[in-house]
A and B are shown apart, each in its own frame.
Chain A
Amino acid sequence: MTVPAAMMRKVLLTACAWLVALVVLAPYVQMLLTALKPHEELFASPPGYLPESWQFGNFLEVWRVAPIWEYLRNTVLIAGLSTVLAVAVALPAAYYTARRRFRGRRMFLLLVLVTQMFAPTALVIGIHREMLALGLIDTYAALILVNAAFNLAFSTWILHAYFSSIPVELEEAAWLDGCGTLQALLRVTLPLAVPGVVTAVIFTFITAWNEFVVALTLTSTPETQPLTVGITAFIGQYEVQWQYLFAASLIAIVPVVALFAYIERFLVSGLTAGSVK
């Protein structure tokens, strides 16, 4: 290939890639521009591309017009506690299945792989019946248990893969130095599995943070509703307060996008259960 042709190719390629980025970000830019418009401009037809008067105050006002603090507190508590529960339960299971051979090991791994494919959406009717029977409707406990249970599989898989990749000899050396099994795990293996733990924690947190269907079904008051469900209150019967709706949405989106970017390179291997190496 001649040099100018190679240059052309590169320029074209770069332009295409940047165009893709633009298309992908467009809805979120529109979210931001809408959040910055005053009420009257939202109902201009045809709409303006940019706000005529930039209402940065909408991002402060939104906390006052709706119980955003409560929604956000609920989201943080639910996402945080389900992450702690899921990872705390996944850690011993992942370690044990990576290190020991025992009857039922394959059965257990199969169960985990299968549950990873079950979304709460398909089971939401059953979940609702169960929580009704347990008297857990409209409680944190219900949402924490559901989020933890449905994210357990991902955490177990990624931690299982991490533990399997750490040479058992390192632990054996610790045993020779007089460490117990548990001490060797805590002092030697776990520190080496930190990237896996971080990925499991962040991914579970984001999934729980964005969860919608179960929260929609099991909660009905601002005391327990997370942000994903709470913001739908801006959609009234006759009018939608788009500027606040999107200001609240952005408050929810920005932190998780940052976290997601941080674990980007570990994600794929975890999500595809180690089949794409």
Chain B
Amino acid sequence: MRPSATTTGRVPAGRARPRRTARLEPLLWLGPALLLIGGIVLWPVVEMVLTSLREISRTGVPRGWAGADNFSALLDHPELVPVIGRTIVWVAGIVAVTVALSLGLAQLLHARFPGRRLVRWALIVPWAASLVMTAIVWRWMLSYFYGITNRVLTDLGVIDSPRDWLGDPTIALLWMMWVGVFVSLPFTTYVLLAGLQTVPDEVHEAARVDGASRWRTYWSVVFPLLKPALLVATVINVINVFNSFPIIWAMTRGGPGNATDTTTTFMYKLAFVDQSVGQSAAMAVVNFLMVVVMVLLYLRAVRWKEIG
């Protein structure tokens, strides 16, 4: 631990306490936080692992240890491989498109133009609004007979006749991925905007003096400076998108069948639709391990060793 000049705790003279109380003092300040994290965040992890190793009846009563039975049943599930493949496409697709669009958007909103404040506020709406409600309105807009999307696209001549967008699994997945991009754009753009604000004006001037074009300045000077922000935004997005349950739940319920499920909705359906709690817990453990890997990547991205 490196002591830093500004925040070193200096206990004023004459206030030294007996050693025992001094050692317990941190617990007094951090205790409630530790209790809450331990009881509500860590306990469910333990509970989940234990459940995955138990045989649980359909009514939820434990019947003894199952060893690796739940995991082997999960591995034998015919939908497992397609679901995992779809999850990878889901996360990679949404995050890649979000980051690419956000780079442009951040640049756009960083520039000065009339009404910039209003446009930035508009961008907040999908971030602040409930994810389920946003997903439900997209489902309504994509409705086969009554949706506005079909009306707009036929009026523009893009399509000849209405399409059943959410009826076909592949097209439904693409639309849901668009909704995923739609709700991830605000956060990502804001992080990149914050990153752009750290680029000093002199950098642009120096590049201009050297005769670099705007494009060249961006790629050789600005983009490298944005990298830390980009990395953090990407990893946070990966975790968020991986956990994104409401979009799929509200728009297709993962259906028809399991055709649009990702690991999160699949896990949920195993537990609360199929009532196979043990298998679902096994899926949850697998999910959790993937999240742990992503968190480790995040810690590297924020360079944990240098903060604190």
Annotate B36-75 by CB proximity to A: 1 below 8 A, 0 otherwise.
1101110111111001000000001000000000000000
Verify A168–B40 contact, CB threshold 8 A. no
Chain A residues, Cβ within 8 Å of B10: 168, 172
A113 surroundings in chain B (CB, below 8 A) = 299, 302, 304
**B191 interface residue (CB < 8 Å to A):** yes
A212 to B239, CA, bound (A): 17
The A19-56 residues at the B interface (CB cut-off 8 A) are 20-21, 24-25, 27-28, 30-31, 34, 42-47, 49
- A210 close to B148 (CB less than 8 A): no
Say whether B111 contacts A168, CB under 8 Å.
Answer: no
A109 to B8, CA, bound (A): 16
User: A93 — which chain B residues lie within 8 A by C-beta?
Assistant: 29-30, 32-33
B3 close to chain A: CB less than 8 A: yes
B308 near A125 with CB under 8 A, answer no
- The verdict on A17 contacting B236 (CB below 8 Å), with A126-B284, A175-B12, A253-B128 known, is no
Contacts of A97 in B (CB 8 A): 30
B232 at the binding interface (Cβ < 8 Å): yes
Q: Tell me the smallest distance from the CB of A134 to a CB of chain B, in Å.
A: 10
User: Which residue of B has the minimal Cβ distance to A242?
Assistant: B140
Interface pair A277/B44, CB less than 8 Å apart:
no
B125-A89 in contact (CB<8A): no
Tally inter-chain residue pairs, CB-CB below 8 A.
310
Of residues 109 to 163 in A, which have CB atoms within 8 Å of B's CB atoms? Answer: 109-115, 117-119, 121-130, 132-133, 145-146, 148-150, 152, 156
**A128, B220: Cα distance in complex, Å:** 50
Say whether B307 faces chain A, with CB atoms less than 8 Å apart. Answer: yes
Segment of B91-99, B167-175, B287-295 engaged in the interface with chain A: B287-295
A9 vs B10: C-alpha distance when bound (angstroms): 56
Asked, given contacts A113-B304, A242-B140, A246-B137, whether A268 binds B284 with beta carbons under 8 Å apart, the answer is no
Closest chain A residue to B50, Cβ basis: A129
Q: Is the CB of A20 within 8 A of B40?
A: no
Q: What residues of B have a CB within 8 angstroms of the CB of A45 in the complex?
A: 145-146, 162
Q: How far is the CB of A170 from chain B (nearest CB, A)?
A: 12
Interface size on B, residues (CB 8 A): 114
Instruction: Decide: A99 near B12, CB < 8 A? Known: A232-B132, A276-B228.
Output: no
Chain A positions within 8 Å of B108 at CB level: 13, 16-17, 20
Which residues on the A side are within 8 Å of B232 (C-beta)?
272, 275-276
What is the minimal beta-carbon distance from A183 to any residue of chain B, in angstroms?
Answer: 13
Say yes or no: B132 contacts A228, CB within 8 Å. yes
Asked whether any CB of chain A lies closer than 8 Å to the CB of B103, the reply is no
Q: Which of chain A's residues have a CB closer than 8 A to the CB of B26?
A: 96, 100, 102-105
Is B177 an interface residue when CB atoms closer than 8 A count as contact?
Answer: no
A18 within 8 A of B: yes
Asked whether any CB of chain A lies closer than 8 Å to the CB of B1, the reply is yes
Determine the chain B residues whose CB is within 8 A of the CB of A272 once the complex forms. Answer: 191, 194, 229, 232-233, 236, 302
Chain B residues in the interface with A (C-beta under 8 A): 1, 3, 6-10, 12, 15, 25-26, 28-30, 32-34, 36-37, 39-41, 43-48, 51, 60, 105, 108-109, 111, 113-116, 118-134, 136-138, 140-141, 145-148, 150-151, 154, 162, 182, 185-187, 190-191, 193-195, 198, 228-229, 232-233, 236, 239-240, 242-246, 249-250, 264, 267-268, 271-272, 277, 280-281, 284, 287-288, 291, 294-295, 298-299, 301-304, 307-308
List residues of A whose CB falls within 8 A of some B CB. Answer: 10, 13-14, 16-18, 20-21, 24-25, 27-28, 30-31, 34, 42-47, 49, 85, 88-90, 92-93, 95-106, 108-115, 117-119, 121-130, 132-133, 145-146, 148-150, 152, 156, 164, 167-168, 172, 175, 181, 206, 209-210, 212-213, 216-217, 228, 231-232, 235, 240, 242, 245-246, 249, 252-253, 256-257, 259-261, 264, 267-269, 271-277
The 6 closest A-B pairs by CB, nearest first: A126-B44, A149-B40, A126-B48, A260-B128, A96-B29, A100-B9
User: What are 22 residue pairs bridging A and B, where the CB atoms are less than 8 Å apart in the complex?
Assistant: A10-B113, A16-B108, A20-B105, A43-B146, A46-B151, A47-B151, A96-B30, A108-B30, A110-B304, A117-B295, A117-B298, A126-B281, A152-B33, A164-B7, A213-B245, A217-B272, A228-B133, A260-B128, A271-B187, A273-B302, A273-B307, A276-B229
